[in-house]
Structures are given as structure tokens and as C-alpha cells.
């Protein structure tokens, strides 16, 4: 976790106070000219972010007439951290070193003093003092730019990983589409063809009706399968809606074409959220499929009601009149329905009834599913 930096205004105020403290220590209150330049330099630090060069120029005189140089060094550091002009920075550092080294007033300057050893040490110290804020400011500027580059590299790598994941997903979707088309579509097509032959060749009316139902459901399954295959084969990897999605308007057709004797009792508002409508449709679809598989010959009642700001869906079937055929099943139907209901804030309960049938109840609050 990165340490939190103090606010800019608070930091500027701290620098101004530190500069005033430096003035209080190094400037005599009776020296009005020196005090004026020193106070101007301290107050000019408030402009150091917006006008760094002007701020440095305003603080430079105090380094000439006083020993209070904190404001000048702070202004030089700010200019160095914000500017890329190396010649300008070298000139400002040299100007600060000269003004700090030369005595004030200049009339007291004696050329013979330059040759003294202590003055050479003083000059070296002054040059080092002037170079220090420049180097520090350049270091901070390089660190800031490096952080920005690292952030850009991290973002680019994240985008690259996303593209790689999308490419893998597209390949998996294409492979899944091929498998669905080659296996499932072939088998369902055979079922539809055999059902059509049985419908034409059978003399029993009940058998012809059953064969017609099988053929109609097979054709409908093939249409939905072809649509899903086209979605899976889409070139882009953006989320694609499997349109058209079923709604409560299709519920009557679902019940009528379920292949069992079923009736629908519905009392619903017309403006229910699409997610609720799809959940109700898929729940009824799965329940009727289970009735066909596990209770042949049973009758079913689908009751959908809207009350107390929630949708209640109940599918009840009687006991089967014929033995159930052994069909392959993954037993994931009810699990998937429960997961869908939980995502919408609802619940699903199911269990046998007293007369040997089965009942499934879906409760979906409308407020949590918009």
C-alpha cells in the first residue's frame, strides 16, 4: 500500500512556515531591506507549483542580502522537479551559487580574498549546495516519470492478458460450436426424421400425434441449437445475448407444446423485469421436462401469480400412469434453477405431494431483480 502524501496546500504552507523560521533565525529585524526581500521570498513559495521560474527569481535576492536561503533552495528544487530544460537549471544553480557566495554589499568585495584557501572551500561548498536541490529535483522527476511508465506497462500487460483470455475463449467457443453441430445436431436430426416417418406410416392416431409432437420439438430444438452455434462462432468475444429470449408471453405456447396434458393459470403484470420473466419461463420448462421424463401419463398444472411484490410460480403434477423410461440425466436441472433463483434473490422448493405427484415452487422478489 502506497503511503499517503500530504495535501499540496498543507505542504506549501509548511514550506512557507519553515522559510519564516529561517528568516527569524538568520535575519536581523532592524535590517528592513533584507527583511523585506526575505519575507517576499517566503511568501513567493505559495506560487512555486504554478510559476516555478518566477518563484525562483523572487527568492534569489534573499540569498544575496541575507543568510536565509531556505526559500531559494526550495524554489530551485521545485523548478528542477518540474522542468526538463537542463541548461536553464544549470544557469539557475550557478546564479544561486554566485549570489550566495558573493558578499553584500558588493563594494566590500576584495579580489585578493579569492586566492585564500578558506574561500576556495567556501566556493566548493556553495556550488555543492546549489547543485543538491537540482539533482534532488531531477531525481524526483525521474521517479515520477518512471512510475507513470510502470503504470502504462502494467495497463498494457493487463490488456494483453485480457486479449489472450478472449482469444482462448473464442477458440473454446468455436470448438464447442463444432462439437454441438457435429454430435447434437446430427442426433436430433435423426430423431426428427424418424418421428416424421413414424407420423406418416403409423395407423394409430395416438401414435401419429405423439410422433408429430416429437418431430415438432426436434425441429424447435434444432432451431435453437443453430442459433446457439452461430452465437458461439461469433468472431468477437463480447457478451452476446442469446436472442430472442423467452418471456412470459411465450409461456402458453410452452405449456401447449409440452407433450403432456397441462394447463396454465397466470395472473401477472405486463411490466415485469426481463430477468424475472426468463427465470419463470426456464423454471416451468424444466419442471414440465421432468414431468415428461419421470412421470409419463401425468397431468400438470402451472400456476403463476404476482402478489406482495413477488412472483410465485408453482408447477404441480399428478402421479405417472406409465412406467418411466430410463433416460440419461446429469441431475443438474434443479441445481441450475436454484442457482438462477438465488442470483435474483429468490428461492426454489420442491418435493413429493401426498397423492404421489410432485410440486415445485419458485419465489422471486421483483425489487431485487431489476
C-alpha dist (Å) from residue 290 to 211, 298, 331: 19, 11, 10
Q: pLDDT below 70 — which residues of the chain?
A: 1-6, 104-120, 178-183, 185-186, 189, 231-245, 269-270, 325-332, 367-370
Partnered with residue 44 across adjacent β-strands are none
Q: Is the peptide bond before 362 cis (omega within 30 degrees of 0)?
A: no
What are the pLDDT digits (tens) for 328-340? 555 567 777 888 8
Partnered with residue 312 across adjacent β-strands are 305, 363
Q: Rounded distance, CA 349 to CA 360, Å?
A: 6
Judge residue 233's burial from the number of C-beta atoms within 10 Å of its C-beta, 0-12 exposed, 13-18 middle, 19 or more buried.
middle
pLDDT for position 300: 93
How many CB atoms are closer than 10 A to CB 20?
18
What are the pLDDT digits (tens) for 214-267? 878 877 777 777 777 776 666 554 444 444 567 788 888 888 887 788 999 988
SS3 label, residue 50: coil
pTM: 0.44
Would residue 276 be called left, alpha or beta, if left means φ above 0 and alpha means ψ between -120 and 50 degrees? Answer: alpha
Amino acid at each position: 500500500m502506497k503511503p499517503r502524501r500530504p495535501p499540496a496546500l498543507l505542504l506549501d504552507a509548511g514550506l512557507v512556515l519553515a522559510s519564516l523560521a529561517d528568516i527569524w533565525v538568520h535575519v536581523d529585524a532592524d535590517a528592513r531591506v533584507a527583511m523585506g526581500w526575505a519575507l517576499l521570498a517566503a511568501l513567493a513559495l505559495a506560487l512555486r507549483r504554478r510559476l516555478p521560474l518566477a518563484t525562483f527569481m523572487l527568492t534569489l535576492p534573499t540569498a544575496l542580502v541575507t543568510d536565509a536561503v531556505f526559500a531559494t533552495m526550495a524554489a530551485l528544487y521545485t523548478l528542477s522537479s518540474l522542468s526538463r530544460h537542463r541548461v536553464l537549471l544549470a544557469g539557475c544553480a550557478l546564479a544561486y551559487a554566485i549570489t550566495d557566495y558573493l558578499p553584500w554589499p558588493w563594494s566590500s568585495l576584495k579580489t585578493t580574498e579569492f586566492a585564500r584557501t578558506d574561500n576556495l572551500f567556501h566556493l566548493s561548498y556553495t556550488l555543492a549546495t546549489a547543485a543538491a536541490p537540482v539533482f534532488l529535483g531531477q531525481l524526483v522527476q525521474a521517479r515520477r516519470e518512471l512510475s507513470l511508465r510502470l503504470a502504462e506497462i502494467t495497463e498494457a500487460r493487463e490488456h494483453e492478458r485480457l486479449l489472450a483470455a478472449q482469444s482462448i475463449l473464442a477458440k473454446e467457443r468455436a470448438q464447442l460450436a463444432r462439437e454441438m453441430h457435429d454430435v447434437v445436431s446430427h442426433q436430433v436430426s435423426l430423431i426428427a426424421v424418424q418421428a416424421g416417418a413414424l407420423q406418416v406410416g403409423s395407423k394409430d392416431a395416438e401414435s401419429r400425434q405423439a410422433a408429430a409432437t416429437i418431430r415438432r420439438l426436434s425441429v424447435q430444438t434444432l432451431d435453437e441449437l443453430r442459433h446457439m452455434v452461430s452465437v458461439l462462432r461469433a468472431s468477437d468475444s463480447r457478451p452476446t445475448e442469446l436472442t430472442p429470449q423467452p418471456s412470459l408471453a411465450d409461456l402458453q405456447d410452452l405449456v401447449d407444446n409440452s407433450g403432456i396434458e397441462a394447463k396454465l393459470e397466470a395472473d401477472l403484470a405486463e411490466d415485469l423485469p426481463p430477468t424475472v420473466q426468463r427465470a419463470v419461463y426456464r423454471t416451468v420448462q424444466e419442471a414440465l421436462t421432468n414431468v415428461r421424463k419421470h412421470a409419463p401419463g401425468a397431468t400438470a398444472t402451472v400456476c403463476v401469480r404476482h402478489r406482495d411484490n413477488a412472483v410465485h410460480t408453482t408447477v404441480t403434477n399428478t402421479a405417472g400412469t406409465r412406467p418411466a423410461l430410463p433416460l440419461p440425466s446429469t441431475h443438474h436441472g434443479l441445481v441450475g434453477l436454484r442457482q438462477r433463483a438465488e442470483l435474483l434473490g429468490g428461492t426454489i422448493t420442491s418435493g413429493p405431494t401426498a397423492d404421489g405427484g410432485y410440486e415445485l415452487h419458485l419465489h422471486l422478489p421483483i425489487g431485487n431483480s431489476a
